[in-house]
Amino acid sequence: MRRLFLSIGLFLVVLNSIASIQTVKTKAKNCEHRADSVVALMTLDEKIGQMVLLTSGADQTGPRMAVNDLEEIKAGRCGNIFNAHTVAYTRKLQEIAIEQTRLGIPLLFGFDVIHGHKTIFPISLGEAASWDMEAIEKSARIAATEAAASGLQWVFAPMVDIARDPRWGRISEGAGEDPFLGCRVAEARVHGFQDNDLSDPSTVLACVKHYAAYGAPQAGRDYSTVDMSERTLREVYLPPYKAAVDAGALSIMTSFNELDGVPSSGNPFLLKDILRKEWGFKGFVVTDYTSINEMVPHGIVANEKEAAGLAVNAGVEMDMQGSVYLKYLKQLISEGKVSEATINKAVRNILKIKFMLGLFDDPYRYCDKNREKQVVFSEENRKAAYDVACKSMVLLKNDKQVLPLAPGKSLAVIGPLADSTEDLLGSWHAAGTTEGVSSLLDNLKKSSGGKVSYAKGCDFSGNDTSGFAEALKIAEQADVVVLVLGEPCGWTGEAASRTSIDLPEIQTKLLQEIRKTNKPVVMVLMNGRPLALERETILVDAILETWYAGTSGGKAIADVLTGMYNPSGKLPVTFPRNLGQVPIFYSMKNTGRPYEKEGLEQKYRSRYIDSPNEPLFPFGFGMSYTRFGYSNLKLSSETLSKEGKLTIYVDLTNSGNYDGAEVVQLYVQDLVGSVTRPLKELKGFQKVFLKKGETRKVEFTLTEKELRFYRRDMSFGSEPGDFKVYVGGDSNATNIKGFRLKQ
């Protein structure tokens, strides 16, 4: 009888939701009420089950725990699943939840859709190098449509961790070193995933990660300690998470690291004070993989039961894969260590999202086999991936205009990455496979118009030089050598930190040998982190940074090399000369003893005795086959009032021989503050396409708002005084003007 009553209750709730979903966009408030009415029907065990996220057997992204997802789902002990995809498989699991549990609450399916689902786009660092927010949003939109068509409603992206240490393998998953660029990319990706309407079955719930400051582990070692001032945290590391929340992201993932001695999954300062109170976050918080359990080895709790209590009271609503909520929450409640009200609130936040996604309306709305067939890996999507891949490439050097390759030239294509398809996909390529992916070599054979010969030359690493002879032979016979070097894709991503950011010695040796042929050498790089390329840069004529360019990357690289596409990417992260310079980023401070190269006695200056201070390639840098010139930098006024706005004008001219796009960058320096300020901060950018010979006036506006920072007393605001603006094509921009912010 009770069962019947509950079923009728739930049925009414569901009917109720159908009505609302059929009207306009699902309103969060309505969904909250509906969630509350379901919470009222639930037993404590069922509530706890909704706070559990377990991996299915289909994929593995961390240490496997001893759970059987099917049994847990049946028992109502697991309300959410990750690492399951395809319509057939997710439907099977969803049927268990709907048909075999008492209340039939639908499962939420999540997956790591980091840079595409089946159609793989360039790695996120590469996408950020496009500085093209429309393209990035489109890439996320396509990833969302493919994920949603594969039975998923939730993606563990965007990863918005600012990263300034290239040793850290996960630098490849984010948008680089800068908070301003990081915020724009975060917003674009959230919009792409959620499209402002979770009730549309082609959208997915975004999950911002890894909150917070996961990108700053000591010595670049993954999962290591993070320790920084609150000012740096708030000014540099937090803004992209906040931008993603402001853009509407309704889930957020805690990070593995500790911050100021407290691991993120037990950190009420991060989860309550900042996320909920300051930012007004309305979604739910999920942990990273077993990160509640990991608070035991962190040494903040003595056992997993205490860990579960610490996490739930700190504001963590869903336990990814740790099973500690499953094991201990009930007991903690009975002992009075956790209140049932905390549980109710958490469950309501989770169910609210399930309502918003329309899962209570139709739990199988993401399980349409025809849609899956039509949408996933469609030709249209692969074309879009090609487009973004072209935009992501950064030309770092081009002496004597060796690029683009002149038609008909014979090419010697050499190197361990030249004929790879797997590596094009980069780390963490979700459901992506090499099926339908063609290598750079294949594409050059098709498009170069001249003879193409190939030799691998060497492996990624090791010291086997037996392939050198063949490589040298074909180099000698060719007009140009295209040398494809870098890292295999497994060298970046999670748990892939390196203590060296050099190219493996064997690859540099191969390059040194090839150089002896005196043929023009174009170095094509595939890698997921800044590399220290000082030696190599001297030896080659041209360098094209291609990151891991994705499903359609082989063609995109070939088309950039042959001039079908004029590169326009700019580095989203500084490329140091050597590891000793790390951390190095463009927005460093001046110090009390800046090294100025000339004038003063230089010994006791902030410098190295064995390396220049400057990086090899600065943040924002990237060349084109054409030339861009900047002139007539003007400000609308020499002063800016608190309510006013300042317009900055500059003329951009394409004075070269190709049509092309330039990313015009605006940097600001606050000369004197109550705390010291960075030498430069990015405050605006525009990607401008110009035909050859064309000149265009580019305009930026600045208001007092953009000049705010965390002042001496940690209040957020501006301070009157003198500022400089810098405009140009990279962070060394030399077009400079000054203005004064008035009281």
Q: How many CB atoms lie within 10 A of CB 6?
A: 16
CA–CA separation, 60 and 70 (whole Å): 16
- Rounded CA-CA distance 9/127 in Å is 48
Q: How far is the CB of 436 from ligand BGC (least distance, A)?
A: 25
Residue 110 or 569: which CB sits closer to ligand BGC?
Answer: 110
CB nearer to ligand BGC: give 423 or 494.
Answer: 494
Q: How far is the CB of 86 from ligand BGC (least distance, A)?
A: 17
User: Least distance in Å: CB of 209 to ligand BGC?
Assistant: 6
Q: Contact 207/156 with Cβ under 8 angstroms? A: yes
CB nearer to ligand BGC: give 288 or 730: 288
- Establish whether the linkage from the previous residue to 583 is cis, with ω within 30° of 0: yes
- Count of Cβ atoms closer than 10 Å to residue 117 Cβ: 31
Give me the amino acid identity at 312.
V
Using the minimum distance from each CB to ligand BGC, give the nearer residue, 146 or 361.
Answer: 146
Q: Tell me the C-alpha to C-alpha distance, in Å, between residue 197 and each of 16, 201, 351, 363, 730.
A: 19, 9, 17, 17, 36
Task: State in angstroms the smallest separation of the CB of 742 from ligand BGC.
Answer: 46
Which lies closer to ligand BGC via its Cβ, residue 110 or residue 678?
A: 110
Catalytic, 288? Answer yes
**Position of tokens 């990863």?**
159
Token pair belonging to 17: 């939701």
Q: What is the rounded CA–CA span in Å between residue 562 and residue 495?
A: 36
Q: Which of 159, 241, 184, 193 shows the shortest CA–CA distance to 493?
A: 159
Q: Is 732 in the site for ligand BGC (CB under 6 A)?
A: no
Q: How far is the CB of 62 from ligand BGC (least distance, A)?
A: 4
User: Looking at 132, 161, 288, 304, which residue binds ligand BGC (CB under 6 A)?
Assistant: 288
**Residue 65: CB minimum distance to ligand BGC, A:** 13
For 379, residues 6+ apart whose C-beta sits below 8 A from its C-beta are: none
The rounded distance, in Å, linking the Cα atoms of 326 and 601 is 66
Please tell me which residue in 161, 288, 442, 730 is annotated as part of the active site: 288
Give residue for tokens 């994705």.
Answer: 550
Closest CA to 130 of 667, 663, 623: 663
Residue found under tokens 């400079």: 736
From the CB of 256, what's the least distance to ligand BGC, in Å?
Answer: 7
**Helix H or strand E segment including 635:** strand 628-635
Contact 393, 546 (CB under 8 A): yes
The Cα–Cα gap between 704 and 681 comes to 14
Cα dihedral sign, 282-110-387-627: positive
Smaller CB separation from ligand BGC, 288 or 681: 288
Q: Lay out the site mask for ligand BGC across 420-459 (x = CB under 6 A, - = otherwise).
A: ----------------------------------------
d(CA 107, CA 153): 10
Please, which residue, 112 or 177, has the CB nearer to ligand BGC?
112
Q: Indicate the residue among 496 and 573 with the shorter CB distance to ligand BGC.
A: 496
Residues contacting 535, CB < 8 A, separation 6+: 508
- Least distance from ligand BGC to the Cβ atom of residue 659, Å: 40
Of 329, 331, 333, nearest in space to 311 by CA: 329
Judged by beta carbon, residue 46 or residue 112, the one nearer ligand BGC is 112
Transcribe 304-324 into DSSP letters.
Answer: HHHHHHHHHHHT--BEES--H
| Contact status: 154 vs ligand BGC (CB under 6 A) | no
**Residues paired with residue 240 on neighbouring β-strands, in sequence order:** none
Instruction: Return the SS3 of 630.
Output: strand
Strands 681-690 and 52-55 turn out to be: unpaired
**Choice from 7, 27, 44, 62 touching ligand BGC (CB under 6 A):** 62
> Residue 249: is the preceding peptide bond cis (ω within 30°)?
no
- Per CB under 6 A, 465 contacts ligand BGC: no
Instruction: Pick the closer one to ligand BGC by CB: 124 or 145.
Output: 124
Query: Which of positions 95-124 make contact with ligand BGC (CB under 6 A)?
Result: 112
Which residues does 689 contact at the CB level (< 8 Å), separation at least 6? Answer: 659, 660, 661
Task: Tell whether residue 224 is a contact of ligand BGC (CB under 6 A).
Answer: no
CA atoms within 13 A on the CB side of 18: 10
**CB–CB of 676/589 below 8 Å?**
yes
Q: How far is the CB of 156 from ligand BGC (least distance, A)?
A: 4
Question: What would you measure as the largest C-alpha separation in the chain, in angstroms?
Answer: 91
Q: Residue 525 in contact with residue 486, Cβ under 8 Å?
A: yes
Q: Which is nearer to ligand BGC, 124 or 624 (CB)?
A: 124
The binder of ligand BGC chosen from 131, 154, 156, 621 (CB under 6 A)? 156
- Which helix (H) or strand (E) is 151 found in, with range? none
| Size, binding site for ligand BGC by CB under 6 A | 8
144 with 155: CB under 8 angstroms? yes
Please select the residue that binds ligand BGC; options are 85, 209, 354, 498, rule is CB under 6 A. 209
Q: What is the smallest separation between the CB atom of 117 and ligand BGC, expressed in angstroms?
A: 14
Mapping DSSP to helix (H, G, I), strand (E, B) and coil, where does residue 368 land?
coil
Complex with ligand BGC: residue 42 or 489, whichever CB lies closer:
489
If you write DSSP's letter for every residue of 436-467 in order, what string do you get? T---HHHHHHHHS-S-EEEE--S-SSSS--TT
Among 61, 344, 410, 508, binds ligand BGC (CB under 6 A): 61
Residue number, nearest CB to ligand BGC: 61
Q: Which of 89, 109, 121, 289 binds ligand BGC (CB under 6 A)?
A: 289
Q: Are 185 and 179 in contact (CB under 8 A)?
A: no
Is 621 one of the binding residues for ligand BGC (CB under 6 A)?
Answer: no
Shortest distance in whole angstroms from residue 725 CB to ligand BGC: 37
What is the rounded CA–CA span in Å between residue 722 and residue 724?
Answer: 7
Task: Work out how close the CB of 289 gets to ligand BGC at its nearest, in angstroms, rounded to a whole number.
Answer: 4
Nearer to ligand BGC, 124 or 578 (CB): 124
State in angstroms the smallest separation of the CB of 240 from ligand BGC. 15
494 touches ligand BGC by CB under 6 A: yes
Which residue carries 């060719």 as its tokens? 478
Catalytic positions are: 288
Q: Which residues bind ligand BGC (CB under 6 A)?
A: 61-62, 112, 156, 209, 288-289, 494
